Chains A and B, each alone.
Chain A
Amino acid sequence: MDFARFRGTDAYLTSPELESAVNCALALERPLLVRGEPGTGKTQLAEALARALGLSLIHWPVKSTTKAQDGLYVYDTVQRLYDSRFGDGDVRDIRRYIKLGPLGEAFAARDRRVVLIDEVDKADLEFPNDLLHELDRMRFRVAETGDEVVARERPVVIITSNAEKELPDAFLRRCVFHYIEFPDRELMARIVRVHHPDLGNQLLDQTLGAFYQLRDVQGLRKRPSTSELIDWIAVLRRAGVESVELDDSLPFLGALLKREQDLLAFAEAMHRGRRPRA
């Protein structure tokens, strides 16, 4: 096999499905689109992949105002005007005012890069479509100078989405898709172990028990996820809590549930749960 393979890292555990999807993306040189509940490690995947392949990572966080063009390059007109007035450097050289964006930087780099286009669905509806061509061809032209930026080494592109907006079909078709499922208890125990290697078995068992029960509480708007569990355990350990049990006095509940409605829903569920026992 003439392409690098991904098998996860010490700090990032994967499933065979995820490995397969990543390897497909690597071998076919296509963007990998990762979806999944918030907190399931979509962003970390790119970091882990970069580390595993020994490549440097370029992070492009997408916001609602981000335009596809920003990822390629920005022509800093104001700076140029300013320089022309106050005479700092050669303003005739337009190239000095072309600033490459994350994607442009990855294309222009000498070695292969991993580009993370984070939360692509935050942007405008047309954003993914506007990137199609550049992602396909891995090249673009700077209109102001006529220069063409061509990727020497096709970067590994990871795209994450929270499914806030539907992505266009044409875009989806070009991506390798992976949906990060919520980890089951066994995998979760391994994940927690990675972050808290010296955690006692008893506490691990109890926290996981409470965590999965909590996720099953009806009516939660935002169910706690992996990152929240890890934070919660960190808080518990810092506070020296030895054991936990799922009831309405669950310590540091705020680390797991972050919405007022969810806290109310939880209290109600606990209340209901107790009545038959009494």
Chain B
Amino acid sequence: MFVDFLYELRERGVKVGPQEALTLSQALGKGLHETTLDGFYRVARALCVHREEDLDAFDRAFAHHFRGVPDDALKIAEEVLQWLLDPRSRRELTDEEREILEKLDLEEVRKRLRERLAEQNERHDRGNRWVGTGGTSPHGRGGTHPSGIRVGEGETGGRGAMAISARRRFRDLRSDVTLDTRQIEVALRRLRAYVREGAQDELDLPGTIDATARSAGELEIKLRAPRRSNLRVLLLLDVGGSMDPHSEVCERLFSAAKRATHFKELRTLYFHNCVYGRVYENGSLTRGPRIVDLLRECDRSWKLIVVGDALMAPWELTASNSPWSWTEEDRASGIAWLVALTGHFERSIWLNPEPEAAWYGTAEVIRQVFPMFRLTLDGLTAGIQHLLRGGERSR
């Protein structure tokens, strides 16, 4: 009963897994819910919800799942006890914990999965659904789950779901389209370069030992400057038009970069479609520095990150008197400005939120100027590696 409820939670986006299930069963085993449905609600909420954003989803799931259930928690307690008594039910749970519990050979699981898939194709309705729903839930839920969870029955189903879930999870980690802020922050972490500079207020232990040894045991304290980040980042964001669908992921990247404490300096400027003589300080493109001045202020060690879909009308890239350039001296073509940018900085990357299949036309041209990476976790990580390689080589 409560395992079904956990699936209901997952369906509503509350990411509960084996750990929650085990903890919950442990809590119920200890009688923390005081054998009331209200008690169960409170205990389950404390254990299954990890962030306040999920509270609402939890409430809805609970209301839906337990609608019409009389307040006979005694039954719940009994079921849980039974569930605990039966070791096999534990393995039907989910993911990695189960993996640890069972210590099953992954190869064997894969084999079973293949067998299962073959078997399922024959049984038409269920089989298709089973594989199909793998997409929405990491557990390959859908058709198999309600019976799969039940003890004893559908054992192979459970195993298959495990392999599928493992595969799905892996993919999520690698290149999920929705990058959350934390993932970006973690990826940005790698973008760092430290130097020792500033006031000497950190004990240099090896230096002190060395100096002390040299003066025959007479203590001589050596100090040194702490390691500080020496990385400056220039972030140029394409706004408006075709970038609107990507505004959320751009915002996340922006807020993650803003919060990253390990940049010595971060400048964020905006442009529309392509960079011309000027970039802007806000999204409404009203005022901002000229590129010429910007390049004077930011020396070549700055890391340039451009975020844009690189899609525009071809003339925006090639025409030398684009409507976006106002003054005479700014009248170079878009591509010329881009070349100027990459030429100035030691390392620069272009992050494109569009999938690679969409990198055609102007994007293809820009790609020849800028190393282009996708704005996903993979792409960001590769891009950052590219930026860092430049830094190391110059030293």
Contacts and interface: CB of A to CB of B under 8 A. Distances in A.
Nearest to B46: A21
Interface in B47-96: 47, 49-52, 55
A172 B15 CA distance: 11
Contacts of B38: 16
B45 to A, nearest CB: 7
Contacts of A179: 49, 52, 55
A84 B226 CA distance: 25
Contacts of A85: 218-219
Interface in A13-51: 16-17, 20-21, 23-25, 27-28, 30, 33, 35-36
B219 A177 contact: no
Given A16-B38, A173-B20, A168 B182 contact: yes
B181 interface: yes
Among B20, B42, B205, the one with the most A-chain Cβ atoms within 10 Å of its Cβ is B42
Chain B at the A interface: SS class: helix
Interface residues of A, number: 37
Interface in A183-200: none
Interface stretch (B25-33, B291-299, B305-313): B25-33
Nearest to A173: B19
Interface residues of B, number: 36
A61 to B, nearest CB: 19
B51 A177 contact: yes
B42 A21 contact: yes
Interface in A63-119: 64, 77-78, 81-82, 84-85
Contact of B32 (A20, A81, A84): A20
Given A20-B43, A125-B189, A165-B259, A81 B219 contact: yes
Interface of B: 15, 17, 19-20, 23, 26-27, 30-32, 38-39, 42-43, 45-47, 49-52, 55, 180-182, 185-186, 189, 203, 205, 208, 218-219, 221, 259, 261
Interface of A: 1, 3, 16-17, 20-21, 23-25, 27-28, 30, 33, 35-36, 64, 77-78, 81-82, 84-85, 124-125, 163, 165-166, 168-169, 172-179
Given A24-B32, A27-B30, A169-B15, 4 more contacts: A24-B43, A125-B185, A125-B189, A175-B50
